[in-house]
Structure 1
Amino acid sequence: MAVINKNKKIFFAVFLTAAVFMAVFFIAGTTPVFGADSVDEYNEDIDLKKKAIDSIKEKIDQYNKQIKQKQSESLSLKNQLAILENEIKKNELDIERTSLEIEKLNLEISKLESEIVKTEKNIQNQKKYLAEYIRTININDKKSYLEVLLQKRSFSEFFDQVEYLYQMQNDVKNTLQKVTDLKATLQADKSEMEAKKTDNEKLIDELKEHRDNLDEKRFVKGELLVQSKQSEIQFKDLVYKLKLEEQQINAEITTLERKIRDELEKREAQEKFKGFGPAKFIWPVPSKYVTAYFHDPDYPYRYIFEHPAIDIRASQGTSVKAAESGYVARAKDAGMGYSYIMIIHNDGFSTVYGHVSKILVKEDQYVNKGDIIALSGGKPKTPGAGKLTSGPHLHFEVRSNGIPVNPLEYLP
Structure 2
Amino acid sequence: MEKSLIKTFVSLICAVILFSPAYFGNASLIDDLKKQITQKEQELKILEEKSKQYKNTVTQSQKEQKNLKNNIVDLNTQIGYLATQIEITQNQLDQTMLFIEKLKAEITKQEESLQIKKIYISSAIQTINEYDEASLLELLLKNNTFSNFLNQTEYMKSLESEIQNNVDALQLLKSRLEEKHFIQKNKEKDLEELNSDLSSKKIITNQQKNKKESLLQETKNQEKKYSSLLSEIQKKRDGIQKEIYELEEKLKYTIDPSKIPAPRRGLFNWPANGTISQKWGSTSETGFINDSYKFHNGVDIAALIGTPIYAPADGKVIAIGDNGQYAYGKWIAIDHQNGLITLYGHLSLQLVSLGAPIKNGQKIGYMGSTGFSTGSHLHFTVYAENTFQTTNRWFGLLPLGGSINPFNYLPN
TM-score interval, normalised by the smaller of the two chains = 0.5 to 0.7
What is aligned with 2:17? Answer: 29
Structure with greater proportional strand content = 2
In the aligned structure 1, how far is the partner of 2:100 from the partner of 2:47?
A: 23
Matched-pair contact (CA < 8 Å) for 1:16–1:140: no
Spell out the pairing of 1:239-318 with structure 2 (5 A cutoff). Answer: 239-259=230-250, 279-281=339-341, 284-286=354-356, 289-293=363-367, 298-299=368-369, 304=374, 309=379
TM-score by length of 1: 0.66
SS at match of 2:23: coil
Spell out the pairing of 1:83-102 with structure 2 (5 A cutoff). Answer: 83-102=74-93
In the aligned structure 2, how far is the partner of 1:304 from the partner of 1:343?
A: 21
In the aligned structure 2, how far is the partner of 1:328 from the partner of 1:179?
A: 61
| 1:63 is the counterpart of 2:133 | no
In the aligned structure 2, how far is the partner of 1:173 from the partner of 1:96?
A: 52
**Please, which of 105, 129, 135 is the counterpart of residue 138 of structure 1?**
129
| 1:191-229 alpha-carbon deviations (Å, 9 max, x no partner) | 111111111111011101210110111122112212333
Amino acid at match of 1:24: L
In the aligned structure 2, how far is the partner of 1:97 from the partner of 1:278?
A: 39
In the aligned structure 1, how far is the partner of 2:160 from the partner of 2:389?
A: 83
SS at match of 1:340: strand
Matched-pair contact (CA < 8 Å) for 2:237–2:372: no
Spell out the pairing of 1:1-150 with structure 2 (5 A cutoff). Answer: 17-31=5-19, 32-35=22-25, 36-150=27-141
TM-score by length of 2: 0.66
Mean CA deviation greater in 160-169 or 198-207 = 160-169
The number of equivalent residue pairs is 317
Distance 1:233 1:16, change over 3 A: same
**Please, which of 216, 222, 225 is the counterpart of residue 207 of structure 2?**
216
What is aligned with 1:170? Answer: 161
Amino acid at match of 1:331: T
Aligned Cα root-mean-square deviation (Å) = 3.6
In the aligned structure 1, how far is the partner of 2:241 from the partner of 2:404?
A: 14
SS at match of 1:281: strand
**Please, which of 340, 346, 363 is the counterpart of residue 397 of structure 2?**
340
Percent identity, aligned pairs only, is 23
Structure 1 spans left out of the alignment, 5+ residues: 1-11, 312-322, 350-398
Amino acid at match of 1:231: Q
Distance 1:302 1:290, change over 3 A: farther
Amino acid at match of 1:400: I
In the aligned structure 2, how far is the partner of 1:127 from the partner of 1:305?
A: 64
- Quote the offset at 1:235 in angstroms: 2.3
Mean CA deviation greater in 298-307 or 123-132 = 298-307
In the aligned structure 1, how far is the partner of 2:340 from the partner of 2:389?
A: 19
Distance 1:246 1:34, change over 3 A: farther
Structure 2 spans left out of the alignment, 5+ residues: 261-336, 343-351
What is aligned with 1:396? Answer: none
Distance 1:260 1:120, change over 3 A: closer
Amino acid at match of 1:233: K
Matched-pair contact (CA < 8 Å) for 1:243–1:305: no
Distance 1:242 1:249, change over 3 A: same
Bigger Rg, which one? 1
In the aligned structure 2, how far is the partner of 1:219 from the partner of 1:292?
A: 18
- Quote the offset at 1:157 in angstroms: 2.6
